[in-house]
Amino acid sequence: MEKTYYAHPSAIIDEGCDIGKGTKIWHFSHIMPNCKLGENCNIGQNVVVLPEVVLGKNVKVQNNVSIYTGVTCDDDVFLGPSMVFTNVINPRSAINRKSEYAKTHVGKGATIGANATIVCGHDIGEYAFIGAGTVVTKTIPAFALVVGNPSRQIGWMSEFGHRLEFDANGYATCKESGQTYKLENNTVKRTS
């Protein structure tokens, strides 16, 4: 069967991986057993994807990222340079806690900035925007803009990555796309 993705000669791809058409895996990256990478993903240099990780279509993983077992990312997720996921709350070198891996799900279109850390067991909502260097210690709602250590929400973002300014009626318009959004009960939904 002909390979439909590109892997740099220095990349290592273990047995049992399902890699989508058009995906590119760059220098010194390691895709471990039983991972699933969707179509048109871009896996940067020096990335490690641990066993059974699932990435949707068009996921962009920048250089020096670690994606641990228990992580799933929906389509169009952006993982910034040197960001990291965890998978155990209380790791100790001498104690095997593989049976305690916590799951983390990243929703469609979410962005996680450079050097951010996502503590396991906390999902990231669709189109959420995690600022560079942020340490996520709680679940992040869809469209939320969060920064800091520990993370705190400072606003809302559109699907196109622009900060939303809501009027007195709870409506906002993305300045690039023209899409409209409604803020109600601390939840944002796209209306058009």
Domain ranges in the chain?
Answer: 1-88+102-157, 161-192
Contacts of 2 (CB under 8 A, 6+ apart): none
pLDDT level of residue 150 (50, 70, 90 thresholds) = very high
Residue 93: what pLDDT?
94
- Residue 109 carries which side chain, given as an amino acid letter? G
Q: Which of 4, 36, 37 is nearest to 22 (CA)?
A: 4
Percent of the chain with pLDDT over 90: 97
Mean pLDDT of the chain: 97
The class that CATH gives domain 1-88+102-157 is mainly beta
Is it the case that residue 33 has pLDDT exceeding 80? yes
pLDDT level of residue 2 (50, 70, 90 thresholds) = confident
Is it the case that residue 1 has pLDDT exceeding 70? no
Residue 152 and residue 41: Cα distance in Å, rounded? Answer: 29
